[in-house]
Amino acid sequence: MKKLSYKELTEKYRPIIEASGVLQVEEVRGVNHKPHVYMIGAKHVGYASDHHGGRLDERTLEAIPCAHPGCRTSYSGHTCDVVMPLKLKRNVTNQEIRSALKGAVDLGMKADGIDGFVFIKTEFDVIPEES
């Protein structure tokens, strides 16, 4: 199965989550890069030109180590957490948030490589459940 890009992941899950009317989905992204963001340098460009018709894809990235000074780690050795940033569109309860996110979890976001959600601060807040 093809790994989806951050844009494709966003497009897949945005309609499901935003249908609730309580959350807005920002573009999926990588955070907490370990050991750092993979750096592309001149050797990558030359290798891609010589071996892959100039295409700088994963084959090139795996063939040439990271260009960050002092780093010899492979492309696959650079990792990050993949998160879906969310904004509240109004004041909501925890139950409303759980309901809004259930469809994404059920659809298989973990299998798609999304590690979790992060909330971006807005003027709205989580309010206590009514008893």
Output DSSP code: residue 48. H
- For 1-35+79-131, CATH number? 3.30.300
Structural domain spans, the chain: 1-35+79-131, 37-77
Match 């935003």 to its residue by tokens. Answer: 18
What is the reported pLDDT for 1?
65
Condensed to tens digits (0 to 9), the pLDDT of residues 101-127 reads 999 999 999 999 999 999 999 999 999
What is the reported pLDDT for 109?
95
Could you give the CA distance from residue 32 to residue 41 in angstroms, rounded to a whole number?
22
Match 């309609």 to its residue by tokens. Answer: 15
Condensed to tens digits (0 to 9), the pLDDT of residues 28-70 reads 999 999 999 999 999 999 999 999 999 999 999 999 999 999 9
What is the reported pLDDT for 131?
63
Residue 130 has pLDDT above 90, yes or no: no
